[in-house]
Every structure is written in C-alpha cells, then in structure tokens.
Amino acid sequence: MNKVVAQARLSELKNGDVFKIIGFDESCGNFKHRMQEMGIAKGQMGQIINKSFFGPIEIDIEGRKLAVGRGMAKKIYVKKFECPIL
C-alpha cells in the first residue's frame, strides 16, 4: 500500500517523487484552463522525471511526458507518495 507523505507544490518535489494532483492556484483565472489544455487535471497521478537547477521540470503524467515551467509548477498542488507506483 502506498503511503501519502505530505501535501506540497509540484515545484517542491525532487527527481523520482510520485504525486497526485489535488488542485491549482486559483489566483490566476485562466491557469486551470491552461493546465487542462496541456492535459493536466485534478486527480491524475504523475512522477518527476527530471528537475535540474534551471529550466522546466519534466514530469510523467499517466504515461505522457511533459515539461512544466517552474512558475507553473508553483501553482500546482500535489500529494506526495512515499514509494514509486509508476
């Protein structure tokens, strides 16, 4: 069984971390819509593929590889899981 560790922002996770999207920052009105256009939605599972010191954060969302800018990653709220499930 996978254990939920904590709630965080996507930008706070490290390489290999597994997460579930629980919501988006509501301060920017069209941000949620923009995420939906990219195929990122509440309830999806994912994993950090590559988070280097600079540049976008590469993630795998249910088998699709995406690059998310760091500013965007700060607006995505996730639950982090202890053990990999992907």
CATH number, position 33: 2.30.30.90
Element (H, E) at 33: helix 31-38
pTM, to two decimals: 0.83
* pLDDT tens string 31-76: 888 888 888 999 999 999 999 888 999 999 989 999 999 999 999 9
Q: Confirm whether 48 is domain-assigned.
A: yes
Q: Confirm whether 11 is domain-assigned.
A: yes
Q: Confirm whether 10 is domain-assigned.
A: yes
Q: Quote the domain boundaries for residue 66.
A: 4-81
The dihedral built from the CA positions of residue 60, 45, 48 and 18, taken in this order, carries a sign that is negative
On the question of pLDDT at 1 being above 50, the answer is no
Q: Confirm whether 86 is domain-assigned.
A: no
Q: Confirm whether 72 is domain-assigned.
A: yes
Q: How many structural domains comprise the chain?
A: 1
* Predicted pLDDT of residue 81: 87
Q: Strands 76-81 and 64-68: what pairing?
A: unpaired
* Predicted pLDDT of residue 6: 52
